[in-house]
Chain A
Amino acid sequence: MNSTSGIRDALAIPVGRTAAEDRPLAAWRSISAFAPPPIATAYGTLLNHREALAALDDVVHQPPHKAPPKAPVLYIKPRHCLAGHGAAVEVPTDAQALEVGAQLGIVIGIEACRVREADALRHVAGYTLCSDLSVPHTSYYRPSLRYKARDGFLPLGPWVLAARHLPDPDALEVVVHIDGREAQRYSTAGMQRGVARLIAEVSDFMTLAPGDLLMLGAGPAAPLARAGQTVRISIGPIGTLEHRLVPESPA
């Protein structure tokens, strides 16, 4: 398989009721960079993992937060965040390292508006791997575009695995390696809201469109990576997403 067909296959995101064939590519390692799957709007979920929220301890009760979150805490990664497998992501000069929010990405296939939890998985086209990058920050009071919305801050892919190949998205092991060393390992079973419940609660007030990405949330103790390092994220049935961090190019 040559690289051109590899990229084309990676873009063959199944949308709507007829899921495209989308098995992982045997030759992906020979391909230097993939285009990201063609995502419409990318939504992230903060602190969905129980241990990630618990790690904040009493901070959730202190000002400015004053109380733990009730609804899912969501954010948007704008279009220039999207980067493909193999991307080189620039680390801003004023950041020592980036936080790697390795997580499951849910790609919507059928419009989801006020769906019930029991029906929610029918709206999923497939799943992908997300490296949701942030400049580390300790306050979640205000959304921070400067920390989360920078160009290239969402490598994802390499492909979208059709949902029919992944009947239980709530028992997946996510493993992160940085420069070949294991840096994080967690299970999606630890989420406060699993895939179906998250879709139901989010679609209660905002419609998810075909091609939208809803990220399930990062695991506890998200690892840090510096410029020069390589990040590899694996979820067994889906595959492996790899990207590099590089120093910011001069203005």
Chain B
Amino acid sequence: MKHARIAWAGAVHSAVEDGKQLRLADGTRLSEDEVVWLPPVQPGTIIALGINYADHKKELAKELTLSAKDEPLAFLKGPNALVGHRGRTRRPADASFMHYECELAVVIGRHAKRVKRADALAHVAGYTIANDYAIRDYLENWYRPNLRVKNRDGCTALGPWLVDAADVPDPHALGLRTFVNGELRQHGNTHDLIDDVPALIEYLSSFMTLSPGDIILTGTPEGVVNVKPGDEVVCEIDGLGRLLNTIVADGPA
């Protein structure tokens, strides 16, 4: 089943997908464009992975100080970063390179501490789509990627749905695509993840407890290009849906 959190008629509701519509708990049916889409889960800890696709690593190689691969590059994000489906993301006025990153997002459903790979997927509630924007102008080599690049308000779109893990039989065989104004600009497949979902849960839970509502953004494949105000960016993952986001200019709307 696909679950959403939405605002409608002055209240926040949970909803499920019903054909091309949303159905609220009381049976009310609504179309996609008459609700405000919120991120599909109230986030706990948000963990993001950098450079987790071999092709993206190659794409970044020129500017990276690459060392031998030892452990996943993981960093954290705050809840301020999240924005739901059909949301807006601000491009800073002084940015010269802002790009999207289409990512498979894993939502934790059960506490996980020192979980082994073989048991890891039992701790997953479901999956959603993340578009984790970065503003490369602000990159500094201190706890890189630094929060000014990666933890800006509204720069991580999430949704539209939380899709139950039971409905995603193989999270490592999902095509990812990003369209900018309808044109395909990024594509990849989760079978190219360097550290796959069980590996990430095993690694993270080896030193920190994961809890329900925690979200792991698993990284993005190659094909990131600059986006500007007015651009409509759609991130699509097989079986999970299409996450729409619009870039807007800096400053108050």
- A residues with a Cβ closer than 8 A to B are 40-41, 43, 46-47, 63-67, 69-71, 73-76, 78-80, 92, 113, 140-143, 145-146, 149-151, 205-209, 212, 251
Contacts and interface: CB of A to CB of B under 8 A. Distances in A.
A137 to B, nearest CB: 11
B174 interface: no
Contacts of A149: 76, 207-208
Interface residues of B, number: 34
Given A64-B65, A80-B211, A207-B153, A140 B78 contact: no
Contacts, number: 107
A141 B144 contact: yes
Nearest to B72: A145
Contact of A205 (B44, B74, B148): B148
Contacts of A208: 80
B81 A206 contact: yes
Contact of B73 (A46, A66, A142, A212): A142
Contact of B208 (A46, A47, A63, A145): A145
Contact of B77 (A67, A76, A205): A76
A140 B140 contact: no
A140 B208 contact: no
A91 to B, nearest CB: 12
Given A41-B79, A69-B142, A76-B78, A206 B147 contact: yes
A77 B36 CA distance: 30
A63 B65 contact: yes
B80 A206 contact: yes
B45 interface: yes
B114 A251 contact: yes
B31 interface: no
| Chain A to chain B: the 6 pairs with minimum beta-carbon distance, closest first | A76-B76, A78-B45, A64-B65, A143-B143, A74-B147, A73-B142
Interface of B: 44-45, 47, 65, 71, 73-81, 92, 113-114, 138, 140-144, 146-148, 151-153, 204, 207-209, 211
A118 B54 CA distance: 47
15 contacts: A65-B142, A71-B148, A73-B143, A74-B143, A75-B143, A76-B151, A78-B45, A78-B208, A113-B153, A143-B76, A143-B143, A149-B207, A205-B147, A209-B79, A212-B78
B143 A46 contact: yes
A251 B206 CA distance: 10
B142 A140 contact: yes
B76 A69 contact: no
Given A78-B76, A205-B153, A206-B151, A145 B204 contact: yes
A40 B45 CA distance: 11
B78 to A, nearest CB: 5
A73 B114 CA distance: 30
Contacts of A76: 76-78, 147, 151
Given A145-B207, A206-B151, A66 B141 contact: yes
Given A71-B138, A76-B147, A145-B76, 5 more contacts: A40-B79, A76-B151, A141-B65, A142-B144, A146-B71
Nearest to A204: B148
Select the residue from B45, B75, B142, B143 with max chain A CB neighbours within 10 A.
B142
Contacts of A64: 65, 141
B208 A151 contact: yes
Contacts of A151: 113, 207-209
A172 B153 CA distance: 31
Contacts of A41: 78-80
A142 B151 CA distance: 15
B117 to A, nearest CB: 15
A57 to B, nearest CB: 16
A65 B141 contact: yes
A92 B209 CA distance: 14
A64 B141 CA distance: 7
A66 B63 CA distance: 12
Nearest to B152: A205
